[in-house]
A and B are shown apart, each in its own frame.
Chain A
Amino acid sequence: MTLRHIYDAIIVPAAVILPLCAGIYTWRHLGKAEKWIWFYLIADGISDMVASYMAHHGMNNLWVSHLYTPIEALFFLVYYQLTIKDILIRRIIGVVMVAYPLFCLVNAFWIQGLNLLNTYTLYPESLIILALGIICFMERSDAPVAVRGTTEASIAWFNAGILIYMAGSLFYFLFYNFFAIHKALTHVFVVAHSTFLLSMYLSMMIGFLRCRK
């Protein structure tokens, strides 16, 4: 097992424990939106474990990504519906919550199929979440976090983590299937993706810890 494998397959997936523990530590201070993020991390950890187990036993685990992507998107969409105040945006999120899983279903069975990574759905997911993250920050640019209440500081940390992960991984999601065919330099992007994921976990850990202040 190479150092890269240890980093990608063990250290980064295991790092999800950090924000989860931080969330348990501050559980009674968490609002509804923060609890959604905590449950998202649980789903994320489970999907990682299942995918790693299947990869370790030489099984095709691409369907896990097809199944997990709409679930992940729903967690983020609900989170932003709870944190964004603009009614129109919240309505649009409601429509996306129905349309996006349908698109994932169509993609899984009729467009890309289960033998390719769902890049066609991962890329729009990143774009949607990036847009919502930017809107979330813009809505909060009129008043300082300190005078808004305890969960506002954590929202900024969650949002920053999600933005870094989604923005950093956007091109990785787009070209993943190309990398899978042309193996050269693929590991650079995998390590970069893992690092963005790790930064999101750490950011969320800080976000949970900020909830108690």
Chain B
Amino acid sequence: MPQVGVNSDNVYIITFLGMVGMLLLTLALIQFYVRNQKRLLRGVEEKRQAELKHQKDLTFAIIQSQEEERKRIGRDLHDDVGSALSNLKLYTLQWEDSEIVRKLIDGIIDKARNISHMLTPAELELLGLEEALEEMCRVIHQSGSVKVFMDNAAGEELDKIPYDKALSLYRVFQELFTNTLRHAGATEVHLHFDKPGDLILAHYQDNGRGLKGKPSSSGMGMQNMESRLEMIGATYELDTSGTGGFGIRISLPV
């Protein structure tokens, strides 16, 4: 009888161990599966990040080559076409009753200069970002479409921004002004700069229609701005303080 008792106990223990063993094996399998899934997900995420980075690099390269091309066209327009038109104007001085022709040529020269200026803002390279922006604001203000008020509390810090970054900022404001003039129906634009700590803060605000629920990154213009800001390490947030119109705050670390 004691022998039977010992055997019975052993079977219970063996069964229990068998159950535990099978359970552990299954849990190990599930754990292996979960870890494998995590590894695969990490791989997919890394690949996605790499693709994203590649796409960003491509965008930056496109923007840079676009700037190079603009610079070249602007220079050619100013140097070649501008001087050719000036020569033509001098040539017409020999004619009698050439007043109308000269006026036409003057108009073409002005237009060529403006286009050249839009393509490569000479002030930016010669005088710095503050002057270049003031010039842009002045031109837009004088066009009579909107009143532009620029206020620079950052002082000379704006002009210390390296040329590449300054050019990107300049293009962003150019795009913002274009959007305001084309779509916003605004009458006023305020542009304010400040420098708290190691940041240059820019606040652009118009009194137009605003985004009205449109996603912030819709449209090529907005995407272009995002890319340019990202390229120089700047961040932005849309101003939703409820005053109406479109507003954007840009922070650039210096």
Contact = CB atoms under 8 A, between A and B. Distances in A.
B227 to A, nearest CB: 27
Given A160-B30, A182-B8, A146 B41 contact: yes
B163 to A, nearest CB: 44
Interface in B18-70: 18-19, 22-23, 25-27, 29-30, 33, 36-37, 40-41, 43-44
B126 interface: no
B26 A189 contact: no
B19 A170 contact: yes
Given A175-B15, A189-B15, A170 B22 contact: yes
B18 to A, nearest CB: 4
Contacts of B12: 184-185
B34 to A, nearest CB: 8
B37 A170 contact: no
Given A164-B23, A184-B8, A170 B18 contact: yes
A171 B36 contact: no
Interface stretch (A6-14, A88-96, A137-145): A137-145
Contacts, number: 64
Contacts of B18: 170-171
B149 interface: no
A156 B38 CA distance: 13
A188 B16 contact: yes
Interface residues of A, number: 31
Interface string A162-205: 01100111111011001000101100110010001000000000
A144 B45 CA distance: 11
B11 interface: yes
A169 B22 CA distance: 9
B22 A141 contact: no
Nearest to B43: A144
A147 interface: yes
Interface size class of B (residues with CB under 8 A): 20 to 34
Contacts of A134: 29
A119 to B, nearest CB: 12
A144 B33 contact: no
A137 B11 contact: no
A189 B15 CA distance: 9
Contact of B19 (A130, A140, A192): A192
Contact of B15 (A137, A141, A144, A172): A172
B19 A172 contact: yes
A189 B19 contact: yes
Contact of A163 (B29, B41, B44): B29
Nearest to A126: B22
Given A178-B11, A185-B12, A189-B15, A145 B37 contact: yes
B23 A167 contact: yes
A196 B19 CA distance: 11
Contact of A143 (B23, B27, B33, B40): B40
B128 to A, nearest CB: 50
B11 A163 contact: no
A167 B22 contact: yes
Contact of A144 (B19, B22, B29, B37): B37
A79 to B, nearest CB: 18
Nearest to A130: B26
A189 B11 CA distance: 12
A137 B27 CA distance: 13
A146 B44 contact: yes
B14 to A, nearest CB: 8
Contacts of A141: 33, 36
B24 to A, nearest CB: 9
Which of A130, A156, A171, A178 counts the most B-chain CB atoms under 10 A from its CB? A171
Interface in A101-151: 130, 134, 137, 140-147
Interface of A: 130, 134, 137, 140-147, 156, 160, 163-164, 167-172, 174-175, 178, 182, 184-185, 188-189, 192, 196
5 contacts: A156-B37, A168-B23, A171-B22, A174-B15, A175-B11
Sort A-B residue pairs by CB-CB distance and give the 4 closest, nearest first: A167-B26, A171-B18, A144-B40, A167-B22
